[in-house]
Amino acid sequence: MATSLFSSLLFLFSFIPLSIADSGSVGINYGRIADNLPTPEKVVELLKTQGIHRVKLYDTDKTVLTALANSSIKVVVALPNELLSSAAADQSFADKWVEANITKYYPSTEIEAIAVGNEVFVDPNNTTEFLVQAMKNVHSSLVKYDLDRSIKVSSPIALSSLASSYPPSAGSFKSDLVEPVIKPMLDLFRQTSSYLMVNAYPFFAYAGNAEKISLDYALFRENPGSVDSGNGLKYNSLFEAQIDAVFAAMSAIGYDDVKLTVTETGWPSAGDENEVGAGAANAAAYNGNLIKRVLTGNGTPLRPKDPLNVYLFALFNENQKPGPTSERNYGLFYPSEEKVYDVPLGMAGAGSTPVNESKAQVPTTERGVQSRTWCVANGKLGEEKLQKALDYACGEGGADCRPIQPGATCYDPNTLEAHASYAFNSYYQKNARGVGTCDFGGSAYVVTQPPRFGKCEFPTGH
């Protein structure tokens, strides 16, 4: 029966919050430590079709920044750790870097922040001593180009910068970091209206402590919650507890006013045997529930009025990352652009672009969805699920399924995947490629190349 599918579609639409204006935002990290990723142009199309309006990079790669030009996607770029000592030692190095790597692309490419270094305190090359001066020099360069109000300077810190994170109210920074780097950095954020960047992975805490931490708590599912013995506040997710530990650490040294963005968070869809909790179902639950949580617009127990802003880690599985299996399996997409698991990302896009309720109900092309995209079936899914989705598309869905009838132009190849793809694409085009119209309960995904099934031609919109 098509009913369950239809209700799951309704379920997706019902995620759209009534008041989107003050909800948080969801972006994604576009890491590229892989030898099999699509071209940056294709990646930008993918981001648009998925309704993702914010992306974070780990460098200032020319092809990537050029592909992002005029896309309306906001971009966080990075000055890599290897350049910190040069940027700290020499203002003219920072000036040249900003000139070559920022002003050359801005404003066509909407760079909104520069991550100066990444997880610098745990860099085995000991670059911590250069961090604050490098940030100051990059900021001074931005001032010279009159870009300091448009582009913020920050630096993602790992959660391991904390000496204590439990209970959250007892959060504190490692004492050897406080005077040399944390305070000067937070002072700089204050002076420049910037914010702290934090990489937070409840997965690590869970995997290391699975016998003590409930999986439901780690995945934002229904759970009894955990009460902070320090202040009586109740936590319903490990993620919120981790973020509040950082807020508490800032408060403890007098920085109650500095804001925070979560620049990385994610859950691996696969891992080694000892990586407890890694897996596609958990990854889908974590990311899906995180997006819903962010889009409520509610802050954390300690900062209830500060909406959460997060960047998921990561866009793609990256096959050349070293380390345990999980490291190569954080992606929401395979390099083929097929989804690793189903997450309603379109909703993330809706959250960062104010749209009113009536528009959200009627799929439109207004949210940057391009006409040269197609919808195809995920052939790896079970036949039963696919057949139900096909029945829905051709029935209530109103797709044009005449070409896949026996003897018609697209009957061959006579496979469920080919027929479902034809029907899903018809539905998707008919609904103007709107957000959520190529999903079918996770049975379908968007592609930016014309699908090939025998001699059958898949229509596009225009």
- Residue 359 as a binder of ligand NAG (CB under 6 A): the answer is no
User: Does the bond joining 107 to the residue before it have cis omega, within 30 degrees of 0?
Assistant: yes
**Where does this chain touch ligand NAG (CB under 6 A) — which range of 121-129, 273-281, 290-298, 301-309?**
121-129
- Residue 90 as a binder of ligand NAG (CB under 6 A): the answer is no
How many angstroms separate the CA atoms of 305 and 297, rounded?
Answer: 8
Active-site position among 119, 275, 337, 417: 119
CA 299 and chain centroid, separation: 18
The angle, 0 to 180 degrees and rounded to 10, between the axes of the packed helices 91-98 and 128-144 is 60
User: Closest separation between CB of residue 114 and ligand NAG, Å?
Assistant: 11
How many angstroms separate the CA atoms of 287 and 265, rounded?
Answer: 9
- Residue 80 as a binder of ligand NAG (CB under 6 A): the answer is yes
- Residue 101 as a binder of ligand NAG (CB under 6 A): the answer is yes
- Looking at 233-279, list the stretches that DSSP marks H as alpha helix, in order from N- to C-terminal side: 238-252
Q: What angle do CA 394, 350, 263 make, to 5 degrees?
A: 125
Half-sphere exposure at residue 11, Cβ-oriented, CA atoms within 13 angstroms = 13
Q: Which two tokens stand for residue 454?
A: 């025998």
Element (H, E) at 330: none
**Residue among 126 and 209 whose Cβ is closer to ligand NAG:** 126
How many angstroms separate the CA atoms of 112 and 107, rounded?
Answer: 10
**Residue among 81 and 431 whose Cβ is closer to ligand NAG:** 81
- Residue 327 as a binder of ligand NAG (CB under 6 A): the answer is no
How many angstroms separate the CA atoms of 461 and 425, rounded?
Answer: 10
119 an active-site residue?
yes
366 an active-site residue?
no
Instruction: Give the amino acid at 77.
Output: V
Q: Which of 36, 63, 72, 82 is close enough to bind ligand NAG by CB under 6 A?
A: 82
- Residue 81 as a binder of ligand NAG (CB under 6 A): the answer is yes
**Where does this chain touch ligand NAG (CB under 6 A) — which range of 79-87, 235-243, 325-333, 372-380?**
79-87
- Residue 91 as a binder of ligand NAG (CB under 6 A): the answer is no
Q: For the segment 386-425, give every residue that binds ligand NAG (CB under 6 A).
A: none
Q: Which of 97, 173, 235, 445 is close enough to bind ligand NAG by CB under 6 A?
A: 97
Residue of 23, 61, 19 lying closest to 43 (CA atoms) = 61
- Residue 229 as a binder of ligand NAG (CB under 6 A): the answer is no
Active-site position among 45, 110, 240, 264: 264
Place of tokens 């309006």: 53
- Residue 124 as a binder of ligand NAG (CB under 6 A): the answer is yes
10 Å Cβ neighbour count for 21? 9
**Residue among 76 and 375 whose Cβ is closer to ligand NAG:** 76
**Where does this chain touch ligand NAG (CB under 6 A) — which range of 118-126, 160-168, 361-369, 371-379?**
118-126
How many angstroms separate the CA atoms of 284 and 266, rounded?
Answer: 10
- Residue 96 as a binder of ligand NAG (CB under 6 A): the answer is yes
How many angstroms separate the CA atoms of 340 and 319, rounded?
Answer: 14
User: Closest separation between CB of residue 161 and ligand NAG, Å?
Assistant: 17
- Residue 370 as a binder of ligand NAG (CB under 6 A): the answer is no
User: Does the bond joining 280 to the residue before it have cis omega, within 30 degrees of 0?
Assistant: no
Element (H, E) at 114: strand 110-116
Residue of 301, 205, 195, 173 lying closest to 244 (CA atoms) = 301
Build a one-symbol-per-residue string for 43-72: x at contacts with ligand NAG by CB under 6 A, - elsewhere.
----------------xx-----x--xx--
Q: How many residues bind ligand NAG (CB under 6 A)?
A: 17
Residue nearest ligand NAG by beta-carbon distance: 100
- Residue 100 as a binder of ligand NAG (CB under 6 A): the answer is yes
The catalytic site residues sit at 119, 264
Residues in contact with ligand NAG by CB under 6 A are: 59-60, 66, 69-70, 80-82, 96-97, 100-101, 108, 123-126
